[in-house]
Structure 1
């Protein structure tokens, strides 16, 4: 399984505002050409949401359905693919105050394309494309963003804790 982490600082955007923009998936197609379509279904009894995604991925489209869980008390959300073009796609978004007067946003994901014989060739390309797509989404949602410094130690709390 391949892992991708993207850390960016959104300048002049407070963490609560950044979190609310990130969790508003319906806006993504309006702020970046990377995301073609997002259909967000009504929340379930547990507060999770199912969303259907169509995203430009290299020279084609990738489609999947995911379950999204929101944790406003920690400004985090988690997602897990339910079906679609990935074999596995799951991860988190986190927002935290930045020393640079804004918000540090961290996107962490694990994925598996499900093609073991081509993984060595395809996974690095998929990782690079995913990283670029996340950077474009964040720029569209939050305006001026720059690469955030890596944390001194991995002290992130669990998404649901």
Structure 2
């Protein structure tokens, strides 16, 4: 199962970044690969969101459960339905001298064992590139 972890420093306080991360339905406004994110259900500290992404012309859809720990400004997510067998991870915000380090983790499984050995390295690179693109978009939004 591929695992991707990307980090990026942002010259901004955690308290300014966290609301941006929580506002997932607005991600398509500044993340080019995302077509839509729709909130299906919202509770006190969770949402169920429906995602549609375009990765190199391939449409990928999933529904995820997002859990928010506001006190620690931490978000965890996991796919509950969708195109991948497994898709989960977390957003971690850590205070650093120049602002905040954003860490995004993605743990996923394509779900086709016979071709996993061939596809996993390609998908891992795609997920890493896409994750870095997301962090860069957030950095640009916060610092720009």
In the superposition, the TM-score normalised over structure 2's length comes to 0.91
Shift of residue 58 of structure 1?
2.7
Structure 2: 5+ residue stretches without partners: none
Is 1:142 equivalent to 2:139 in the alignment? yes
Is the contact between residue 64 and residue 85 of structure 1 (CA under 8 Å) also seen in structure 2?
Answer: yes
User: Aligned runs of 1:35-50 on 2, under 5 Å?
Assistant: 35-44=34-43, 47-50=45-48
Structure 1: 5+ residue stretches without partners: 146-161
Tell me the number of residue pairs that the alignment of Structure 1 and Structure 2 aligns.
142
More strand by share: 2
Give the Cα separation in 2 of the matches to 1:76 and 1:135: 18
Q: Tell me what 1:120 maps to.
A: 117
Is 1:90 equivalent to 2:74 in the alignment? no
User: Aligned runs of 1:1-161 on 2, under 5 Å?
Assistant: 1-10=1-10, 12-44=11-43, 47-99=45-97, 101-143=98-140
Large movers: runs of 4+ above 2 Å:
none
Shift of residue 131 of structure 1?
1.3
SS at match of 2:41: coil
